[in-house]
Homo-oligomer: A and B are copies of this chain.
Amino acid sequence: MALIVQKFGGTSVGTVERIEQVADKVKKFREAGDDLVVVLSAMSGETNRLIELAKKITDQPVPRELDVIVSTGEQVTIALLAMALIKRGIAAVSYTGNQVRILTDSAHNKARILQIDDQKIRGDLKAGRVVVVAGFQGVDEHGNITTLGRGGSDTTGVALAAALKADECQIYTDVDGVYTTDPRVVAQAQRLDKITFEEMLEMASLGSKVLQIRAVEFAGKYNVPLRVLHSFQEGPGTLITIDEEESMEQPIISGIAFNRDEAKLTIRGVPDTPGVAFKILGPISAANIEVDMIVQNVSHDNTTDFTFTVHRNDYDKAHKVLDKTALELNAREVVGDTNIAKVSIVGVGMRSHAGVASRMFEALAKESINIQMISTSEIKVSVVIEEKYLELAVRALHTAFELDAPARQGE
């Protein structure tokens, strides 16, 4: 008998029929003897509908009041699921974030969970009830309703699992697990049985959007075993956990992530003096533009070239900021490119394997793909290439790192 937290997203509860299906699934677990806490999102589209309603009143809704409105989305689904469970003879009770209570800070629309009072839930579990909790929402110390921001329901699930010391937090979604890469790009992509929190973080932030990054961080911090599963298909999914075993069979890399949302900007011929990096990135950050990769090469004639990537939507804005900086720094020129893509190999295995990066570069060279930027971390190597080569690069790397071998089991 395990204590399991199950989280179902918006599409999984998007219609009354789907809520009935979720109830069937929960019932099966309950009848197998598990104690269950179920976290739900709003019906898909509902949060947007509520935000649109607020926007009809004002373009800039007060964050506190916006939270009062959008939090009603999950409040509806939790009660519907509780009703559906009770109809099936399964004792159940629903709780809003305020009722649990999930205490957050007061940063409306993007609050962070501070503490969860698990007494009420434990009492219900003891009494044999399935507890259905509204995801994405909480309450601050003054009793104001808060929301965690988009995707916050994953975080609610993980935080509840951590507070209750649950055996597993299951995230039900529209994919059946985490893959070695996007199956739409590489047909031989494999579902991973297991992946570490660190790898998942690199995969998620690099564009494999299965789980919310904050939820993975949270799970890693509190060591909550996290499992990604398909809402309406059977299967073991992918377990995200700490790196316990360093077995021989462990693959060097777990997956290939990629991202075509970025653009590249280079400022050439800036004086190579202390503080120049801040002079370049300070104004970018002041303009609220997020920077991803940053590369500065060794200097040449006391000047250097400085390159970074931003989201493609921020490219024009960043270019203007940089033009101004270039004038001030008396730099030679500013050049940029939006036709780029970032490809990364991710894997804790590379920590103990030399030559992973060179194997990557070799595979790309074989396909005559030019590498424009390189950036590395302990468990990842990212390169920027011309966008048109993206699919080719991902497929080449997937093969080079032996990820498309048939049916990998128990790695």
Contact = CB atoms under 8 A, between A and B. Distances in A.
A20 interface: yes
A119 to B, nearest CB: 12
B83 A78 contact: no
Interface string A39-64: 00000000000100110111001101
Interface stretch (A90-98, A265-273, A347-355): A90-98
A393 interface: no
A68 B79 contact: yes
A84 B57 contact: yes
Q: Which of A57, A61, A66 has the most CB of B within 10 A?
A: A57
Contact of A80 (B16, B69, B76): B69
Q: Which of A65, A96, A99 has the most CB of B within 10 A?
A: A65
A157 B106 CA distance: 29
Nearest to A23: B57
Contact of A65 (B50, B53, B57, B79): B79
Tell me if A's interface is mostly helix, strand, loop or mixed: helix
A103 B358 CA distance: 68
A138 to B, nearest CB: 14
B79 A69 contact: yes
Contacts of A145: 96, 99
Given A65-B86, A94-B65, A16 B99 contact: no
Contact of A62 (B57, B83, B99): B83
B76 A50 contact: yes
B96 A83 contact: no
B87 A65 contact: no
A72 B73 CA distance: 8
Contacts of A64: 93
Contacts of A72: 72, 75-76
Nearest to A66: B79
A82 interface: yes
Contacts of A256: none
A19 interface: yes
A144 B79 CA distance: 12
A382 B288 CA distance: 74
B76 A57 contact: no
Interface of A: 16, 19-20, 50, 53-54, 56-58, 61-62, 64-66, 68-69, 71-72, 75-76, 78-80, 82-84, 86-87, 93-94, 96, 98-99, 120, 143-145
28 contacts: A16-B56, A16-B57, A20-B57, A53-B80, A54-B79, A54-B80, A57-B84, A58-B83, A58-B84, A58-B86, A58-B87, A61-B83, A62-B82, A62-B86, A65-B82, A65-B83, A65-B86, A65-B94, A66-B83, A68-B75, A68-B79, A68-B82, A69-B76, A69-B79, A69-B80, A72-B75, A98-B98, A120-B143
State the 6 A-B residue pairs at the shortest beta-carbon distance, nearest first: A72-B72, A68-B79, A65-B79, A16-B56, A69-B79, A58-B87
